Structure 1
């Protein structure tokens, strides 16, 4: 209740010590609407919150009327007539508490030099360092500490230290400063929470990351036996800081002291679908019961959250917690689903042509078509979801198409294509296609890996030195991202010189396998062309037609009647050669003509190094000319005659040959005239 009270006070723009009755009914209404909005947040959006959000130049309302924090913006407040800006003469008459809140450094120094004790508490038992911390007055905090201010002094109704106050507000620069002077983040406030628990409660992922990097225990318990992971799952709708804590190996199966709830219990209580997904993927015990004997599924049923009930039941069946009937066992078994998804395209592609090739009456063929359609609907409804259609099935469709095209070549076309030269060229194309497909699938596209120590070093550098751009930091992988790289949401990895994720090779296309992918497309177009060539020879020898007498429809009917199977394969080949050919042309145009990747071309507005002085015009700084671009992307050396670019894009953070940038201070917080009033 104390935490809810604090959040309520924040929305009411009053001091954390102001009695709760100070708020009007309009504030109560806004508070209620704010939490309803949080509950209704769409979980499928899965937003990625950066560890440190970029600050715009425009003013915006913050939860406390203080310097901007790192959390989400609070709901809009009732309009208040703007107040006139105080003059310097007026500010020089402030008492020291108000001067600290407003950051009037000269006035504060004047009063301290006149004999004011920096450790003196105000009438609400709050020190000057508390007020400096909550308003992110770093220069004042440094000054007070130099004058002997006690860093870990407890004060206020919640009996908190200045570091606790800075943590609640999400002031990372203030946290860094206070801890550099020896502030202890493991101290508990009056509610029994240390800084990592407060940062997790308020969703300040940047602070959680910094505390972990500074050595705070990821599984530290508060007074109630709650871990930061439990608080994050219970209080923050979204992936972070839950995902961040899991990446730092937070224990998923710990339970709190009083309710014996796991983090999953707490997430289910508030319907935190995103956190539930991350916890289930992390292997949390789905059968754990709390003090009331309830599993997470029991709570979801009681809350009537049908989405969670469905997914928790599915997860329990997959892990063998619950008994299921024969159909459910097969449907939810991952190995079985994978076999079905990979086998199904082979069967459907075969049936699509074989049924009409049968030598039987039309009504039997119609019956087989109906049965095939029912088979298709049944299998897809049971085993296929969005991921199966978009990620897993395409590569199986490719393999099935390749298989049946080769079967057709040897069964139907062999009498017409058995010349030695044709067979040699076809075999060479097939071998090359198989080789480059295998290399494109199995080659590491350039996944950027980092150890725990490297992540910690990056977080400390990011927080303390502020030495690089937010656009070069991946909040998901918690690592600095090289130029031209991007995080793949499907593979959940950062890939150097990222082009795109291709479901047809079940892999990303990046720095190390781009040349194999382009070669694969080239020989795939060749294979399909050979198939169409075989279809043409087959029809030339088996179908008599005349453009003048039959027309296009008559010719199509004769071609289909000669062999429905060959016609079916030809239709598939024509469809595939169109889109594969266009993809190959697009890849060559981007990589060779423009010197760009697909990702760079699609997101060119986001990358400043592509911008020119003329608005709306973009130029790739990686373009070395058509010939050199082709040599670079294909990696051709030709016994030393060609020299492809040797840049290791997994370690390149700036433009090649660019002068080194001096370390600059990023604009974490821009001073605004918003303050925490008494």
Structure 2
């Protein structure tokens, strides 16, 4: 029995000194939230606990968090609502503790008015406010405080305040209410932890954010010298609240009092790979040693965590902590890796056609092909990873394709292009393509920036005033997200009027560079089409074939035999013109015809402003696709139309005839000209004089 209990505590990430009753509820709730989040199609990668948990806790009962485990002899306590709902007459017979736990306000008021002291402790040394706090009974908490209840009264086996209990359970509304009445989150419980340490231990990122916004020191130490960052790295498998604390400039190199472990040591101990990545990116000292003289790498080796060992060794070599051989020096050097990734497509695309263009025997060409394949496998295994293939290499492939197509034009096609107008048109297309590619790459797509003060204001507005919806908050950037914007997991930034992240331009496509991206696609299709025209012109002068005598395979063989290089370039051009053309058509269809972005099109069911009263049907509020205003229960701004949508996207202006929409989507949080929403302001008492935050 003890073995099972200890194993369950390990799963719940709690201390052996903490009872299983509280842990089980926290674990089950987090498990439920995790699976609900997985069922939702979330385009963002950065799942984090919402700032304000939209959970109805009025019918949920929380047992005492410090209740000792008495085994089978322990009296059963209801962890779930009973099968038969109690009647009002039955609830009016509850004692005041049970009535507080279940939120029976009338019964509690009746007993208090009859003379019950709200500061009286029960047999477990727990006050009524403790029970109200852990069960998120806000009305009862307000009532007890109005009757003179001591807010920061210590109680329970862990000698905690009601605010500690609310923090452990993750009740942000209760925390906001208690702190508005003067509850002090900097007080330590019996284990020496303040509220920010407890919130970090249990992964309540919303509470951590609120405490930091209210002025709590991000590097506050508990009695063991542990910071919130250390607790988050040690207890919470996932990006937050570790990432959140780093956003607020938590010190990464602090060590605890007894073990002298850094946050990285604690993360490696439990194999928290995500936290390790964030700490390494934050620049933590990889060579720091603890009281046993161990580095984080030493602990990873002892734990036999091969993934961490590999990545920590790689990081240490990159920073110069460890010596490496010649090959490792080049492989792990970021500048060298980038040069290889950007150069490799040029070499491979050249070899793919040049080998067969050689005037030598077939077996020699076969040998070159084998060597090329070995070269390809060796370079990709050493220098290429998932990020290189999906993010960095595509733009290099585009540049290599463009270069060799132009080389082919001037080397192979130039003698057969007799018209000067064709050369001028090809040159103009090349200049326009280069210009719009550069603008698409270098233009800020609409990155939304915020200062520390703005982040704090947003957290307070959301937690205390509930001034905007949950889906408008970016937990990664810690800022309010404008409508039509989205967080890009690759750039790690929020982008206004986000369309998608395009690896072919090494940038996001958003509000400010969408017009350049569409123009780039248009002229890219033009360049590939000119290349195919040149291939046809070359074959017309050098290959004689007959459809009746040769057939498709015979003609293909003659074309390839005439010039393997031209045939290779033609195959690349045919492949690229298909998908680039389809991408251009999709972009125009979405932006001009539908008035939507790619992100909105793919995740239309997640945005309420696209919903209609008919289930499964969606209407864009940014276009005039639907003539029936009654089908939509959301406000729709003035209609634009196809022509105006095109003008808006491309930003065309012509002496007042063409006037694009002037909406700044980086600052637009509601639909344009929509009626203002009412703000649900929480009614709180004035804070006491004994505690005040900035």
Q: Secondary structure at the match of 1:45?
A: coil
Task: Give the deviation of 1:81 after TM superposition.
Answer: 9.7
Task: Give the deviation of 1:153 after TM superposition.
Answer: 1.0
CA contact (8 A) 2:26 2:169 kept: no
Q: For residues 493 and 15 of structure 1, do their structure 2 counterparts lie closer, same or farther at Cα, with a shift above 3 Å needed?
A: closer
Q: Structure 1 residue 404 and structure 2 residue 408: aligned?
A: no
CA contact (8 A) 2:182 2:691 kept: no
Deviations 1:19-48 (A, max 9, x none): 879999999999999999999999998644
Q: Name which of 677, 683, 688 aligns with 1:661.
A: 677
Q: For residues 625 and 145 of structure 1, do their structure 2 counterparts lie closer, same or farther at Cα, with a shift above 3 Å needed?
A: same
Task: Give the deviation of 1:553 after TM superposition.
Answer: 1.2
CA contact (8 A) 2:19 2:69 kept: no
For 1:75 and 1:533, the matched residues in 2 are separated by 85
Q: For residues 14 and 476 of structure 1, do their structure 2 counterparts lie closer, same or farther at Cα, with a shift above 3 Å needed?
A: closer
Deviations 1:504-557 (A, max 9, x none): 000000110000000000000000111111111111111111111111111111
Deviations 1:189-221 (A, max 9, x none): 000000000000011000000000000000000
CA contact (8 A) 1:67 1:671 kept: no
CA contact (8 A) 1:43 1:238 kept: no
Task: Give the deviation of 1:132 after TM superposition.
Answer: 1.2
CA contact (8 A) 1:483 1:655 kept: yes
Deviations 1:378-417 (A, max 9, x none): 0001100111001000000000000001111111111112
Task: Give the deviation of 1:86 after TM superposition.
Answer: 2.3
Task: Give the deviation of 1:432 after TM superposition.
Answer: 0.4
Q: For residues 408 and 97 of structure 1, do their structure 2 counterparts lie closer, same or farther at Cα, with a shift above 3 Å needed?
A: same
Task: Give the deviation of 1:97 after TM superposition.
Answer: 1.8
CA contact (8 A) 2:433 2:523 kept: yes
Deviations 1:307-337 (A, max 9, x none): 1111111111111111111111111111100
Q: For residues 537 and 13 of structure 1, do their structure 2 counterparts lie closer, same or farther at Cα, with a shift above 3 Å needed?
A: closer
Between stretches 214-223 and 558-567, larger displacement belongs to: 558-567
Q: For residues 57 and 108 of structure 1, do their structure 2 counterparts lie closer, same or farther at Cα, with a shift above 3 Å needed?
A: closer
Deviations 1:274-311 (A, max 9, x none): 11111111111111000000001111111111111111
CA contact (8 A) 2:182 2:688 kept: no
Q: For residues 34 and 242 of structure 1, do their structure 2 counterparts lie closer, same or farther at Cα, with a shift above 3 Å needed?
A: closer
Which residue number in structure 1 is paired with residue 625 of structure 2? none
Whose RCO is larger (CA < 8 A, sep 6+)?
A: 1
Task: Give the deviation of 1:66 after TM superposition.
Answer: 14
CA contact (8 A) 2:66 2:157 kept: no
Q: For residues 150 and 25 of structure 1, do their structure 2 counterparts lie closer, same or farther at Cα, with a shift above 3 Å needed?
A: closer
CA contact (8 A) 2:180 2:687 kept: no
Deviations 1:596-644 (A, max 9, x none): 11111111111121122333222211xx211111111101112221011
For 1:167 and 1:311, the matched residues in 2 are separated by 35
Q: For residues 60 and 601 of structure 1, do their structure 2 counterparts lie closer, same or farther at Cα, with a shift above 3 Å needed?
A: farther
Q: Secondary structure at the match of 2:73?
A: coil
Q: For residues 168 and 22 of structure 1, do their structure 2 counterparts lie closer, same or farther at Cα, with a shift above 3 Å needed?
A: closer
CA contact (8 A) 1:52 1:70 kept: no
Which residue number in structure 2 is paired with residue 454 of structure 1? 454
For 1:299 and 1:18, the matched residues in 2 are separated by 26
CA contact (8 A) 2:168 2:198 kept: yes
CA contact (8 A) 1:356 1:565 kept: yes
CA contact (8 A) 1:57 1:670 kept: no
Q: For residues 97 and 6 of structure 1, do their structure 2 counterparts lie closer, same or farther at Cα, with a shift above 3 Å needed?
A: farther
For 2:682 and 2:608, the matched residues in 1 are separated by 16
CA contact (8 A) 2:58 2:136 kept: no
For 2:693 and 2:335, the matched residues in 1 are separated by 61
CA contact (8 A) 1:62 1:73 kept: no
For 1:61 and 1:72, the matched residues in 2 are separated by 21
For 2:429 and 2:242, the matched residues in 1 are separated by 49
Q: Could you list the runs of 5+ residues in structure 1 that have no partner in the other structure?
A: none
CA contact (8 A) 2:261 2:290 kept: yes
Q: Secondary structure at the match of 2:168?
A: helix
Task: Give the deviation of 1:371 after TM superposition.
Answer: 0.4
For 2:211 and 2:664, the matched residues in 1 are separated by 32
CA contact (8 A) 1:14 1:677 kept: no
Between stretches 325-334 and 89-98, larger displacement belongs to: 89-98
Deviations 1:155-195 (A, max 9, x none): 11111111111111111111101111111100100000000
Q: For residues 318 and 70 of structure 1, do their structure 2 counterparts lie closer, same or farther at Cα, with a shift above 3 Å needed?
A: farther
- What TM-score comes out, normalization by structure 1 length? 0.90
Between stretches 587-596 and 409-418, larger displacement belongs to: 409-418
Q: For residues 57 and 626 of structure 1, do their structure 2 counterparts lie closer, same or farther at Cα, with a shift above 3 Å needed?
A: farther
For 2:451 and 2:38, the matched residues in 1 are separated by 35
For 1:451 and 1:675, the matched residues in 2 are separated by 26
Task: Give the deviation of 1:122 after TM superposition.
Answer: 1.5
Q: How many residues align?
A: 676
Which residue number in structure 1 is paired with residue 344 of structure 2? 344
Which residue number in structure 1 is paired with residue 293 of structure 2? 293
For 2:304 and 2:421, the matched residues in 1 are separated by 69
Which residue number in structure 2 is paired with residue 642 of structure 1? 658
Q: For residues 413 and 291 of structure 1, do their structure 2 counterparts lie closer, same or farther at Cα, with a shift above 3 Å needed?
A: same
CA contact (8 A) 1:437 1:520 kept: yes
CA contact (8 A) 2:265 2:296 kept: yes
Q: For residues 318 and 357 of structure 1, do their structure 2 counterparts lie closer, same or farther at Cα, with a shift above 3 Å needed?
A: same
Between stretches 378-387 and 84-93, larger displacement belongs to: 84-93
Q: For residues 264 and 496 of structure 1, do their structure 2 counterparts lie closer, same or farther at Cα, with a shift above 3 Å needed?
A: same
Q: Secondary structure at the match of 1:494?
A: strand
Task: Give the deviation of 1:353 after TM superposition.
Answer: 0.6
For 1:63 and 1:677, the matched residues in 2 are separated by 31
Q: For residues 538 and 550 of structure 1, do their structure 2 counterparts lie closer, same or farther at Cα, with a shift above 3 Å needed?
A: same
CA contact (8 A) 1:525 1:577 kept: yes
For 1:21 and 1:614, the matched residues in 2 are separated by 45
Q: For residues 672 and 210 of structure 1, do their structure 2 counterparts lie closer, same or farther at Cα, with a shift above 3 Å needed?
A: closer
CA contact (8 A) 1:484 1:600 kept: yes
CA contact (8 A) 2:455 2:479 kept: yes
Between stretches 89-98 and 273-282, larger displacement belongs to: 89-98
Deviations 1:247-269 (A, max 9, x none): 00000000000000000100110
CA contact (8 A) 1:52 1:668 kept: no
Q: How well do the aligned residues superpose, as a CA RMSD in angstroms? A: 6.3
Task: Give the deviation of 1:657 after TM superposition.
Answer: 1.7
Q: For residues 510 and 221 of structure 1, do their structure 2 counterparts lie closer, same or farther at Cα, with a shift above 3 Å needed?
A: same
For 2:77 and 2:386, the matched residues in 1 are separated by 41
Task: Give the deviation of 1:666 after TM superposition.
Answer: 10
Q: For residues 39 and 158 of structure 1, do their structure 2 counterparts lie closer, same or farther at Cα, with a shift above 3 Å needed?
A: farther
Task: Give the deviation of 1:87 after TM superposition.
Answer: 2.2
Task: Give the deviation of 1:10 after TM superposition.
Answer: 13
Task: Give the deviation of 1:105 after TM superposition.
Answer: 1.7
CA contact (8 A) 1:12 1:23 kept: yes
CA contact (8 A) 1:636 1:642 kept: yes
Q: Secondary structure at the match of 1:540?
A: helix
Equivalent positions of 1:165-180 (< 5 A) are 165-180=165-180
Task: Give the deviation of 1:89 after TM superposition.
Answer: 2.3
Q: For residues 83 and 576 of structure 1, do their structure 2 counterparts lie closer, same or farther at Cα, with a shift above 3 Å needed?
A: closer
Task: Give the deviation of 1:116 after TM superposition.
Answer: 2.0
Which residue number in structure 1 is paired with residue 40 of structure 2? 40
Which residue number in structure 1 is paired with residue 538 of structure 2? 538
